[in-house]
Amino acid sequence: MELRHLRYFVAVAEELSFTRAAERLRTAQPSLSQQIRDLEEQVGTLLLARTRRKVELTEAGQVFLTEARLTLAQADRALVRARQVGRKDTSTITIGFVPAAEVRIFPSILPRLRMRLPELSVEFRSIPTFEQEQKLLDHEIDIAFLRKPIRSPEVVSEVVLRESLVAVLPVGHPLAQYEEIDPLQLDDAAFIQPHPLYSGDLHNVVESYFAQHGVRPSVTQVATNTLLYLNLIGMKLGIGILPAYAASLTNPAICTRPLAAPAPEIELLMAWRSGDQSPQLGVLRELVAQHAAGEKRRTKEA
């Protein structure tokens, strides 16, 4: 059985006409009929019930149609993926990231990366945390900057950034008058919740922080990305808790305040496929690791 047999069968099954299917496939009708007979012989049962007036799927044909479509879709996907990989220049790295990396890591390491590898082409893809691991495994990206969790043993990761969480408030909010926010001040406050799927472990860290202090905010909105989160706060629909990098993204309608010590922290991970020996990727990981070590040192000195 070959893929062409499946394509011919799907065309006839969808058109329910050998004539229209032959026109769609741009082949002769006798040849198409022979291909279908060959397929049915290989399958061992009739897939199409034919009369002079109509063509219908048998019960076996209906089942086979579903599986044939899946097989053809997978074959097409394999073809596209192979062509993408084949065309991809070895001097290209595709980076998946969440906003924290864009704000806190890339501005520092990318100029150094260009100096080390001036011929390297870098592609950036802003991707939610929950999608990045699979895109790594599918070779759609080469390296990921994402939040926990990572589940596949085929993905290696290391922590490259630790940030304190801060309160994010509309300007003029009663809590904005304080230099830092005590967790109990958040009890029953209108709160913008980070979406548990799109925010990685941010949702869990915030929920744990509230539970630790017996705080029960009043959730008014759930935000699926940082920009929406900030906009909802700017519209005075609630307050929020985000990593400290968010302070650089605020507009005049928003302010941030530190949470009273010990403030909760969140980690940003750098992840890549186990066994990926790309020298360009190695240079990028080295530069990010150096940046992370410098940030850790500066934090201790502060």
Average pLDDT of the residues in 236-248: 94
**How many Cβ atoms sit within 10 Å of the Cβ of residue 148?**
17
Per residue in 2-13, pLDDT (tens digit) is: 888 888 888 888
Q: Which pLDDT does position 297 carry in this prediction? A: 80
Per residue in 245-254, pLDDT (tens digit) is: 999 888 899 9
For residue 177, pLDDT over 80 is answered with: yes
Per residue in 185-217, pLDDT (tens digit) is: 999 999 999 999 889 899 999 999 999 999 999
Average pLDDT of the residues in 51-77: 86
Per residue in 147-165, pLDDT (tens digit) is: 999 999 999 999 999 999 9
- Please choose, from the candidates 227, 221, 223, the residue with its C-alpha nearest in 3D space to the C-alpha of residue 190: 221
Least confident of 11-20, 80-89, 224-233, 255-264: 80-89
Q: Which pLDDT does position 91 carry in this prediction? A: 81
For residue 243, pLDDT over 80 is answered with: yes
Least confident of 18-32, 47-61, 72-86: 72-86
Q: Which pLDDT does position 105 carry in this prediction? A: 94
Distance CA 173, CA 176 (A): 5
For residue 113, pLDDT over 80 is answered with: yes
Q: What is the mean pLDDT of the chain?
A: 90
Percent above pLDDT 70 for the chain = 96
Percent above pLDDT 90 for the chain = 59
Q: Which pLDDT does position 294 carry in this prediction? A: 85
The answer to whether 39 and 9 have CB atoms below 8 angstroms apart is yes
For residue 258, pLDDT over 60 is answered with: yes
- Please choose, from the candidates 96, 92, 80, the residue with its C-alpha nearest in 3D space to the C-alpha of residue 135: 96
Rounded to 10 deg, the angle between the 59-87 and 3-15 helix axes is 130
Least confident of 22-36, 99-113, 249-263: 22-36
Q: Which pLDDT does position 85 carry in this prediction? A: 62
